[in-house]
Structure 1
């Protein structure tokens, strides 16, 4: 955990206490002697009173008044939602996209198998486009990607270190084109710089796949 700049001593104490608590979970020193399975009590001040829609509760707590602040850089900089699985990521993304009144642009990928394999024709017969399109894996975007102007996104590849365009860099979409996305950087020293994200080919590293997927 990295301690961020805070203005008051009380905030610093609370942040330090939270960091130590998180570290003790990661180190396995909390919860008493255990066999890698421990029951951990989460402090009440870290819990949300979820309504019938827990996703809405999380989003509304993390991004209050999202629709009226969607174009505010500082508002987006200090907020992020972490999710444990890809399914949860998609649920949260769909909900947040629905809050953005801008027109959605749907981008579809071109999925193929790597041509370095010996029998390319056989691979194409075995793995149909429908099968390849349905593959979802960490580190690569889905076949169908919905984007809206004003929506925050995260870069999944290293493009240009000098501009701060690295894996994990957060950006906000300014304009969508057919082959590039115009966006503004939310993180790093190049905050607010406008950049163009080109169409690119992603190859996920997945030992469970018996072939190499190329998603453009």
Structure 2
């Protein structure tokens, strides 16, 4: 931009208007080994550029469907306000929580992966296992040291965030989520939900079930995956299909999803800013939200912690 106007050289972004979008009630930047203060100080509201930003507030919840009557519209309006109140750090009312222990399904005390496996077993048809090929790079020792310290069986055992498991069991009719961007022009983006239509030898066929490209079918092959940030003394390379069963998912992975029905299970309280707000804001209507909360003795309760770093909002109020 200096060629257009020499004054642009010393101006932020060369005097080009840049639009930044986001919700400060959601999960903030992840700081490895960072505490509350480290995360809050890394927020963009603490940047020196924030003083030249102009804030525009979006006030309508576009995820919620439109009410068919005045009463339903008023109910949706109250629900939208309740979601915002949660994001601002208020407690939850008991209306969306389930207190009867028999209302919990069998696998609520298991991990997300175990829950997905349980659901797959209940679906008709035979499961087809797809095994990954695991290797390592950037290991400082010799090949002998690597084989002795980290045998292939150990690499197969590793389950790293953002990567498919070594033993990926799939079945026709299973709902899966794409874990990496393959082709954004065709809607094959990280987080896209699909239903598996064919299990082939070296790939699977999936049909997109949401978004602009709903109904389109694509073949998903094995591809080389590698975690972006781990504390392992080597770089894990896993050749596997970038798919994850998505009947259940973590709160972090649910960001960006719009779901008619959300069952939120909290065996432990949320531990970071915005997690609870993200979880309840995925649903498109208040009737589709159910919350299961366990207390310290694993008994059902309607109380849980809502972790919110309120200092993040100070600069927004001033703006």
User: Please, what TM-score do these two structures have when normalized by structure 2?
Assistant: 0.50
Superposition RMSD in Å = 2.6
Question: Among 48, 73, 77, which residue is 2:98 paired with?
Answer: 48
Match of 2:154 in 1: 131
Query: 5+ unaligned residues in a row in structure 2: which ranges?
Result: 1-60, 240-319
Structure with higher RCO (Cα < 8 A, 6+ apart): 2
Residues 164 and 190, structure 1, Cα contact 8 Å, conserved in 2: yes
Question: Among 162, 168, 172, which residue is 1:149 paired with?
Answer: 172
Q: Does 1:208 align with 2:231?
A: yes
Given the superposition, is the C-alpha separation of residues 47 and 132 from structure 1 closer, same or farther in structure 2, using an over 3 Å criterion? same
Given the superposition, is the C-alpha separation of residues 174 and 123 from structure 1 closer, same or farther in structure 2, using an over 3 Å criterion? same
Which deviations, in whole Å up to 9, do the C-alpha atoms of 1:34-61 show, x marking residues without a partner?
Answer: xxxxxx33432x2235544723598xxx
CA distance in 2, matches of 1:3, 1:189: 16
Match of 2:119 in 1: 96
User: Which shows bigger deviation, 19-28 or 186-195?
Assistant: 19-28
Residues 163 and 190, structure 1, Cα contact 8 Å, conserved in 2: yes
> Which secondary structure does the structure 2 equivalent of 1:195 belong to?
strand
The structure whose Rg is larger is 2
Q: Map 1:25-64 onto structure 2 (within 5 A).
A: 25-28=86-89, 30=90, 40-44=91-95, 46-48=96-98, 50-52=100-102, 54-56=104-106
CA distance in 2, matches of 1:56, 1:11: 33
Match of 2:64 in 1: 4
Residues 50 and 57, structure 1, Cα contact 8 Å, conserved in 2: no
Given the superposition, is the C-alpha separation of residues 55 and 42 from structure 1 closer, same or farther in structure 2, using an over 3 Å criterion? farther
Residues 3 and 16, structure 1, Cα contact 8 Å, conserved in 2: no
Residues 134 and 155, structure 2, Cα contact 8 Å, conserved in 1: yes
Query: 5+ unaligned residues in a row in structure 1: which ranges?
Result: 31-39, 59-84
CA distance in 2, matches of 1:98, 1:171: 19
CA distance in 2, matches of 1:140, 1:18: 35
Shift of 1:175: 0.3
Given the superposition, is the C-alpha separation of residues 4 and 41 from structure 1 closer, same or farther in structure 2, using an over 3 Å criterion? closer
